[in-house]
Structure 1
Amino acid sequence: MEPKGTANVSDDGQDLAEVQRTHWQNTYTTHPGMYGEEPSAPARHAAAVFHAAGARDVLELGAGHGRDALYFAREGFTVQATDFSAAGLEQLGAAARRQAVDRRVRTAVHDVRDPLPLPDASVDAVFAHMLLCMALSTEETHALVGEIGRVLRPGGSFVYTVRHTGDAHYGTGTPHGDDVFEHGGFAVHFFPRDLVDALAEGWSLDEVHAFEEGDLPRQLWRVTQTRPGTPSV
C-alpha cells in the first residue's frame, strides 16, 4: 500500500476527476433527491452566520440536488448554486420552481478545478458542504480557496465542511495519494488539521467545529472563516 500523503492526486487527477463526475451524474440520475429536502445541519449554521454578517447573496459550491441551496433561498438569500453534475442541478431547478423560490436561485454547471465564473468581490458568503474533501489535491484545494477569497466581498463569510483524518475510512480503500482514498467509487480527500490552518492563512479563522454525520458515522470539521476587510453597507 502506498504511504499516506506521499503521492500527488494530480498525477492521475484528470482521470479521477472524470470518474468522479460520472459517478455523481449517475448517482443523481439513479437516486433523485437522494439527500432529501431537509437542509443539512451545517447549512442551518451557515445561514445564521450569514444573517448575522448582513449577507444578501450566497454562492454554494457542490450544491447537488439543492437541499441546502433551496433552504438558503427560503431564508431570503439570493443563491447561486454550482455543481459539476447537470443532473443534480436540473433537480435543484425543478424543486426551486415547486417551492416558488426560483427567482432567488441560479444554477451553473462548474468544475471547481477551474476558476469560479464570477467577478471579484461579487458575493457576500460562500458555502460548501463536503465539496473541499472531494477528489481534489492539496494544490487544487488551495487554488479553490484562493478563488473563493477573490469572489467574496471584504468581510464575507466562508463556511465549509470536510471529512478529516480521524474518520474511520481514512487510510482504507483505494489510495490515490495526498490523503485521498476511494470507497465504492467515491473518492475523499481526508483533511489533516494543518491543512485547515493553511487554508485560513490571510483569513480570520473563526471556528473549527468537530461533528458527526451519517453512517459509520463520518467524522467532519465545520470551518467558518472570514475574508479580511470591512463589509460594504
Structure 2
Amino acid sequence: MQVRDGGRSRSLAAGQHDHWQSTYTTHPGMYGERPSAPAVHAADVFRRVGAKDVLELGAGHGRDALYFAREGFTVRATDFSRAGLDQLDAAARAESPAERVTTTVHDVRDPLPAADASVDAVFAHMLLCMALSTEEIHALVREVRRVLRPGGAFVYTVRHTGDAHYGDGIAHGDDTYEHGGFAVHFFPRTLVDALAEGWDLVDVHAFEEGALPRRLWRITQIAD
C-alpha cells in the first residue's frame, strides 16, 4: 500500500476543504432532513451503553446531529466546513432541541476538542474515508479512544474497496481516489481490523447507500 507523504496529504486536504465549502454553499441541505440509516442504528447503540452526549465528526449540515438531539442526546457537532455548520446552526435554532446542539469548526487531523474520557459516544458517517492518509486515520481513532469514557461507543461508516468507484478517477495513493471532485479513502477490511485493536469490535455491517450505489461498512466498537 502506498502512503501519501505529509505535504501531498495536506495539499489534498486543503483542496477538499475548499470543495466541500463550495458544495455546501451551492447545495444547502444537500443530504436532506431525514437521518441516515447508520445514525438510527447508532442512536440505539448509544442508548444501550447509557450515553447521554454524542460527539459527531464530519456533521456537515446536520441531518444526523439534529436527529440525535431529537432523540434526547446532547450533541457536539464538528466539521471543517463553516458553511455546513452554519446551516446546522440555523436548523437547530428553528427546532426545539436547539439547546442540545453545539457546533465547532474542526479538522480531524488536529486533536479532538474534548478532554480525556469526557464523551459517551462518537459518530462519524463517511468521515474516516475522506481525504485522510492511513496514518491520519489511525491517529484520529486514537483520539476517539482518548475522549471516550470506558464503555463508550464509536459508530462509523466508510466506503470500502468493493465500491464501484474504487480504482476509478484520479489516484492519490493509499487506496485514495478522486471522482467528481470528491476524494475517498477506500477501506480494506484489514484497516478496519487494525483500527479495532484494543477495542471490543461489535459489528461490521455491509450496506449500500445512494444511487450508484455506494458500498459501505458500518462499524460498531466499544471502548474497553
Same structural fold, with TM-score higher than 0.5 when normalized by the shorter chain:
yes
Correspondence for 1:44 among 40, 47, 66: 40
| Structure 2 match to 1:142 | 138
1:19 equivalent in alignment to 2:15: yes
Distance 2:23 2:96 in 1: 26
Distance 2:6 2:191 in 1: 17
| Structure 1 match to 2:192 | 196
C-alpha spacing 1:66/1:19, structure 2 compared with 1 (3 Å): same
| Structure 2 match to 1:160 | 156
Q: Which runs of 4+ in 1 moved over 3 A?
A: none
After superposition, what is the alpha-carbon deviation per residue over 1:173-200, rounded to whole angstroms, capped at 9, x for unaligned? 0000000000011000000000000000
Correspondence for 2:25 among 25, 29, 42: 29
Task: Tell me if the contact between 2:56 and 2:122 (Cα under 8 Å) persists in the aligned partners.
Answer: yes
Measured after TM superposition, the shift of residue 10 of structure 1 is 3.4
Identity of aligned residues (%): 75
Measured after TM superposition, the shift of residue 45 of structure 1 is 0.1
**Structure 2 letter corresponding to 1:120:** D
Distance 2:6 2:54 in 1: 29
Correspondence for 2:105 among 105, 109, 119: 109
Correspondence for 2:172 among 172, 176, 188: 176
Distance 2:40 2:159 in 1: 18
After superposition, what is the alpha-carbon deviation per residue over 1:134-191, rounded to whole angstroms, capped at 9, x for unaligned? 0000000000000000000000000000000000100110000000000011000000
Mapping of residues 34-73 of structure 1, within 5 Å: 34-73=30-69
Distance 2:154 2:44 in 1: 12
| Structure 2 match to 1:82 | 78
Distance 2:206 2:113 in 1: 31
| Structure 2 match to 1:213 | 209
What is the TM-score with the length of structure 1 in the denominator?
0.95
Distance 1:124 1:197 in 2: 22
C-alpha spacing 1:58/1:65, structure 2 compared with 1 (3 Å): same
Task: Tell me if the contact between 1:43 and 1:68 (Cα under 8 Å) persists in the aligned partners.
Answer: yes
* Structure 2 portions without partners, runs of 5+: none
Task: Tell me if the contact between 2:3 and 2:134 (Cα under 8 Å) persists in the aligned partners.
Answer: no
Measured after TM superposition, the shift of residue 7 of structure 1 is 4.0
Task: Tell me if the contact between 2:73 and 2:100 (Cα under 8 Å) persists in the aligned partners.
Answer: yes
Measured after TM superposition, the shift of residue 125 of structure 1 is 0.1
Q: CA RMSD in A?
A: 0.8
| Structure 2 match to 1:122 | 118
